Structure 1
Amino acid sequence: MCRHLAVLGPCAPLGASVADPPYALVRQSWAPRRQRHGTVNADGFGIGWYADGDPRPARYRRAGPVWADPSFADLVRVVRSRALLAAVRDATGPSGDGEAAAAPFTADRWLFSHNGALTGWPESAEPLAPLVPPGALLRLEARCDAAFVWALVAHRLLAGAAPERALAGAVVALAEAAPGSRLNLLLTDGASVTATAWGDTLWYLTGPGERVVVASEPYDDDPRWAEVPDRTLLSADRTRLSLSSL
């Protein structure tokens, strides 16, 4: 369920990554090629990006399908950035959360997305609730599992944990509390990307020009795309990429 991607590279229109490629994230909202769970990603979408000189990202999110929003098409055509994170949300049950449930979630300089599902939600999260300060729980943007996962990760980040430790620690805790969960997490601060492959697909593409793309699935047929093994932590910036077992 859901599709997401993060990009670090030279300054370019947002649409060069999310809309223009033949199998871009916009197309993945109705015709994903490698999605294992769910069939259509129409319950919201979002994109976050960084402007030069400002460490805090901007966001654009909506509750409906991305293909029905002409403003999004205009935005990604003209706005340029060196870093972005975007996501489309799988069709789910009725909810009053609206666009608040759509990634990316944010705190300080971070953008975050969760591709997957927490089994037994919300009861399975009860043992983990004490790991998050009460104020942070009260400030949850939405009542969905992804917002709670972000609360766990954000608490670790804001307490000073490195992004690799924040994601890995959250995934291990969530997997123990809710076995069988799918926990593909994606995080960026505009300078680095950290991600987990846990129960769903994750791919990466690196190339000349100090560019790296991490995505649920390839957005074109470039042979340089490589799949990340399941239960793996990915860490990358514009010049290096590493994989380690979770």
Structure 2
Amino acid sequence: MCRWLAYSGEPLRASAVILDAKHSLVAQSLDSPLGAETVNGDGFGIGWYPKGAVAGSIPTVFHSVEPAWNDENVRELARSIESPLFFSHVRAAGGPPIQRTNCHPFRWENWLFMHNGFLGEFAKVKRDLTFAVDPSLYTHLKGTTDSEVMFHLAITFGLVDDPVKALTAMVDHIERVGREKGILFPMQGTIAVADGATIWALRYSSQGRSRTLFHSVDIPTIREMYPEAERLSQFGEHAHVVVSEPLNDLPGVFVEVPEGTIAILDKEGYHHEPFRSAA
């Protein structure tokens, strides 16, 4: 459906991973070997927190409906943005129209959210799910995607106070409503959400066959494995990326996030938690 990338660490020029890596996000927009669709040309988005950001800082977002490989603004921005935490996403539209309000990442206050996947037979559940969004958030829904509804459901269910609990409640609700409508596998995908300091990355599907998700190992470990790799010099000791598929083919640099897992990336590094819906 889509490809996405999340970075956290020392401030990094976004082009290092969006443009310059061997299998960068823009390269994946043209050729995505592990994706459900090979080409992801229905829009691009980037959301970034400012250099020197403090807790609660509001991220900036840019969206374009142009294919990422053909948009000069993408290249200009990626080479100019230097950020300690940013999200980027290339879209393959699965039904909702190609328009800026449907491009990821989505923003609410200091939170960013993006998704790769779909809700099964979304048209059947759209009304019920949308009406479950807190009324105070309803006017913030600008687009027509299932992803944006998911984000606002997570906020409704307490994302600010406990992201893991809120994401669990969101999936439980989606699966309950979907199965009431006779949908066998209501939920599919990988999700990234961030508050400016921590990234939560979820891999889950009702069928147990989720879209791919990987994260990098620690930079000191990579430097030990590849001491002559000059490109590593641009990354700080705490640089990490979470990606739909690896940015290079170097063995050991990326590890796959297991099915039914939420990977949490904070200042201490990664830790994984099992993710199960109670539905």
Q: Normalising by the residue count of structure 2, what TM-score does the alignment of the two structures yield?
A: 0.81
Which amino acid counterpart does residue 21 of structure 1 have in structure 2?
A
The answer to whether structure 1 residue 243 and structure 2 residue 275 are counterparts is: no
**C-alpha distance after superposition, 1:84-127 (max 9, x if no partner):** 001011144462x6111000000111110011011111222333
Counterparts of 1:132 and 1:91, CA distance in 2: 23
The one of 172, 182, 191 aligned to 1:185: 191
Partner SS state of residue 157, structure 2? helix
Partner of 1:75: 77
Partner of 1:170: 170
Deviates most, 104-113 or 139-148: 139-148
1:125/1:177 contact within 8 Å kept:
no
Cα offset, 1:19, TM superposition? 1.1
Counterparts of 2:172 and 2:271, CA distance in 1: 19
Counterparts of 1:175 and 1:185, CA distance in 2: 16
Counterparts of 1:45 and 1:236, CA distance in 2: 24
Which amino acid counterpart does residue 193 of structure 2 have in structure 1?
L
Percent identical: 30
Cα offset, 1:130, TM superposition? 4.0
The answer to whether structure 1 residue 197 and structure 2 residue 203 are counterparts is: yes
Deviates most, 127-136 or 26-35: 127-136
The answer to whether structure 1 residue 109 and structure 2 residue 120 are counterparts is: no
1:185/1:195 contact within 8 Å kept:
yes
The one of 65, 68, 75 aligned to 2:67: 65
Where structure 1 has 5 or more consecutive residues not aligned to the other structure, the ranges are none
Deviates most, 102-111 or 144-153: 144-153
Which amino acid counterpart does residue 155 of structure 1 have in structure 2?
T
Where structure 2 has 5 or more consecutive residues not aligned to the other structure, the ranges are 179-183, 205-209, 220-236
The answer to whether structure 1 residue 214 and structure 2 residue 242 are counterparts is: yes
1:171/1:183 contact within 8 Å kept:
no
Across the aligned residues of Structure 1 and Structure 2, the Cα RMSD in angstroms comes to 1.8
1:211/1:238 contact within 8 Å kept:
no
Which amino acid counterpart does residue 63 of structure 1 have in structure 2?
V
**Stretches of 4+ moved more than 6 A in 1?**
none
Q: Normalising by the residue count of structure 1, what TM-score does the alignment of the two structures yield?
A: 0.91
Partner of 2:258: 229
Counterparts of 1:173 and 1:205, CA distance in 2: 32
Partner of 1:150: 151
Which amino acid counterpart does residue 232 of structure 1 have in structure 2?
T
Q: 1:94 to 1:167 in 2, by over 3 A?
A: closer
Partner of 1:18: 18
Which amino acid counterpart does residue 238 of structure 2 have in structure 1?
E
Partner of 2:40: 41
**C-alpha distance after superposition, 1:26-58 (max 9, x if no partner):** 0111101211x2232111110011113441101
1:206/1:212 contact within 8 Å kept:
yes
May I ask how many residue pairs the two structures share in their alignment? 243
Q: 1:93 to 1:126 in 2, by over 3 A?
A: closer
